[in-house]
Structure 1
């Protein structure tokens, strides 16, 4: 593979990492596809690099859901609150691009918990718990993306 294509692959991976931080782009998917296309073009041991990267992305994806759900359950925040928050986050994304996703999520979590517990303070506590769980999930996904990117970089340099 020429150096130009490796630079393009690296740029797509960087865009994917930013997609994890700003959920406008499918970050993990971009990283996986970029490394997969690179493995197709390079062949040979590149498939092992792809397998390692894909495993890291998969492990981080499963871990983020398990840990986020666990922290929400320990705090007593039901799944319904997260679903309402996510729904309002999606609506917020279209009303106020990019930052509306976060604003809608927080508002949705607050409203869902306020209605469920009939107390605005408890609603805010539930919203804070949902925000922390989402931050943890984002951090785990970012670490997985960075590890997959590092495996690609090591493979690209070695091959």
Structure 2
């Protein structure tokens, strides 16, 4: 692969990592897709081993995020349906109030859903905080997987 192509792959990986943090783009899909394109174009065992390692990191992060965030949500007794409402409101909020509407919509919808369910403001707020913490756990785990996948690509790039 040419240097320009490698730079484009690196930029796609960077966009994927930013997408993980901002939660607007499918970050790890972009990271892994960029590494896959690099492996296909570069070819050879080193590129495919780098892709395989990157894929393992991404898959492990995807599984771990559901296990860790799910455990956190179960402890706080917050159902997944509350997160679905938060996610829907976050997407709508993103378009109503660009960028920050995502966070405002998510928090507001989770709070309202839990307030309707629990009928207690303090309990609803505790559930909202737990949902935000679970979201933070998800972001951190995905980011770790994406960074490790990017490191696998970087190592593969250095070795090819």
Same fold (TM over 0.5): yes
Partner Cα separation in structure 2 for residue 76 and residue 23 of structure 1 = 24
Identify the residue that residue 154 of structure 1 maps to in structure 2.
155
Mapping for residues 3-152 of structure 1, pairs under 5 Å: 3-45=3-45, 46-152=47-153
Which range moves more in the overlay, 137-146 or 28-37?
A: 28-37
Residues paired across the two proteins, number: 159
Residue 68 of structure 1: CA displacement? Answer: 0.5
Residue 21 of structure 1: CA displacement? Answer: 0.8
Partner Cα separation in structure 2 for residue 24 and residue 115 of structure 1 = 28
TM-score, normalised to structure 2's length?
0.96
Partner Cα separation in structure 2 for residue 134 and residue 22 of structure 1 = 11
Higher relative contact order (CA 8 A, sep 6+): 2
SS at match of 2:74: helix
TM-score, normalised to structure 1's length?
0.96
Residue 25 of structure 1: CA displacement? Answer: 2.1
**Unpaired segments of 5 or more residues in structure 1?**
none
SS at match of 1:24: coil
